[in-house]
Structure 1
Amino acid sequence: MLSRYTNDYMQQLISSIMETVNIDLEIKPDHSGINMSYNFIGNYLGVDFQRLITSWEEIQSPISLESYINILTIHELGHALDRSALLESLERTIEFYQTKKSYLASEIYNNKDLLVKLLEEHEMNITFEETAWMNAELLNKKFSLFDPSSFEIVKKHSLESYQRVYLDDLKSYELLIEGLNEKTA
């Protein structure tokens, strides 16, 4: 059954949604392990077609792959609508990137200031994700693309992935602070 979901077919689904909502972006296939992402610097949509299928399978919900792809597409277009804010965050984004590149993960997770910076990055990313989902919801209402329940299932699944990583790192921060407090007590 999944054999009909070729990269070309999935790209046509994405293009069709972009045409419907009058937002035209280049679609660039990639192998990043991220199902679909909006590159605000290059102003294009990156798609890992294989990851798109596996992420759909992870949802464990009776949403068709077509609906899943279409909902993710308007979510990524929601980021495109927020491009000016994303561009304004570029300097901070580069700072986060350089910090992660300059330190080992073990150094970050054992340094309060570096871990705070990592948490700030998560918070910024979650804010951008929530904004993109709000924009996607507006597009969905304007163009009547999907039923609200399917939209909410995909939205919840997507946001949970960001929140889970944030909460894991927040727990690491709390444990680090607790350990530092014990050393000073």
Structure 2
Amino acid sequence: MKNKYNEKYIQRLIKSTMQAVGMDVELKQDNSGINMSYNFIGDYVGFDVDRLLEASKEMQTPISLELYIKIITMHELGHAIDRDALLNTLSRTLEIFDTKKSHSLYELYNNIELLAMLIEEHEMNIVFEETAWENAQNLNKEFQMVDEEIFEAVKAHSLETYKSLYEEDLHLYEELVALQSVQIA
């Protein structure tokens, strides 16, 4: 029997969610390794079939792939609702991107100024993620797409990823600052 979770099936699930909430954002299949993402420059939602299948299984609260995709789709649409705010950060986002591209990981994590920039990027991303989840929650309340408890489980799981990476880098930054303070003293 052929796996029903193929690209066309998942694409239909995403599009049906978009239609149900009255939003029409371009949809592109990709192999980025990210389950779903909103590209605010191109104004489209990207999705990776394999990663969506994996990510839905990583939930501590077991939920169906269909519900997971509905919730993540609303989240990405939440970013689309916030597109103007995202566009307002474009110059800083590109500056951070270029800086990261022109330095090695060693440099990024052993230079206080560069590590502070990574912390800034984390903080920006967390704000955008929280805003997208608020927007998604409003869509869910208005259109009654999924149970609130299931929505909250996916939201918490998703936000934890961003917050744990931020906390790891913040801890490294604090250690680097402390080390530099000891060396100066």
Give TM class, smaller chain: over 0.9
Q: Which residue of 2 aligns with 1:175?
A: 175
Q: Percent identity?
A: 55
Q: Which residue of 2 aligns with 1:114?
A: 114
* 1:62 Cα deviation after fit: 1.9
One-letter code aligned to 1:65: L
Q: Which residue of 2 aligns with 1:133?
A: 133
| Residue correspondence of structure 1 range 40-119 to structure 2 within 5 A | 40-119=40-119
Normalising by structure 1, what TM-score?
0.98
Q: Which residue of 2 aligns with 1:152?
A: 152
User: Take 1:124 and 1:31, find their aligned partners in 2: how far apart are those partners?
Assistant: 25
Question: CA 1:20/1:174 → structure 2, altered by over 3 Å: closer, same or farther?
Answer: same
Flag structure 1 segments of 5+ consecutive residues without an equivalent. Answer: none
Normalising by structure 2, what TM-score?
0.98
Question: Is 1:164 aligned to residue 137 of structure 2?
Answer: no
One-letter code aligned to 1:68: Y
Matched residue pairs, number?
Answer: 185
RMSD (Å), alpha carbons: 1.1
* 1:60 Cα deviation after fit: 2.8
Deviations 1:20-74 (A, max 9, x none): 1111011111111100001111111100110011011111322111000000000
Question: Is 1:36 aligned to residue 36 of structure 2?
Answer: yes
* 1:2 Cα deviation after fit: 8.8
Q: Which residue of 1 aligns with 2:24?
A: 24
Which ranges of 4 or more aligned residues in structure 1 deviate by more than 6 Å? Answer: none
Flag structure 2 segments of 5+ consecutive residues without an equivalent. Answer: none
User: Take 1:76 and 1:34, find their aligned partners in 2: how far apart are those partners?
Assistant: 12
